[in-house]
Amino acid sequence: NAGVMQNPRHLVRRRGQEARLRCSPMKGHSHVYWYRQLPEEGLKFMVYLQKENIIDESGMPKERFSAEFPKEGPSILRIQQVVRGDSAAYFCASSRSQGARYEQYFGPGTRLTVT
- Beta carbon of residue 48, minimum distance to another protein (angstroms, whole number): 6
- Contact status: 89 vs another protein (CB under 8 A): yes
Binder to another protein among 23, 95, 112, 114 (CB under 8 A)? 95
**Burial label, 41 (beta-carbon count in 10 A; 0-12, 13-18, 19+):** exposed
Q: At 16, give phi and psi (nearest 5°).
A: 95, -15
Residue 26 interacts with another protein (CB under 8 A)? no
Please pick, from the candidates 91, 94, 112, 114, the single residue that binds another protein as defined by CB under 8 A. Answer: 91
33 touches another protein by CB under 8 A: yes
CA dist., res. 65 & res. 77, Å (int): 7
Tell me: does residue 59 bind another protein (CB under 8 A).
yes
Q: Point out which residues bind another protein (CB under 8 A).
A: 31, 33, 35, 37, 41-45, 48, 56, 59, 89, 91, 93, 95, 98-106, 108-109, 111
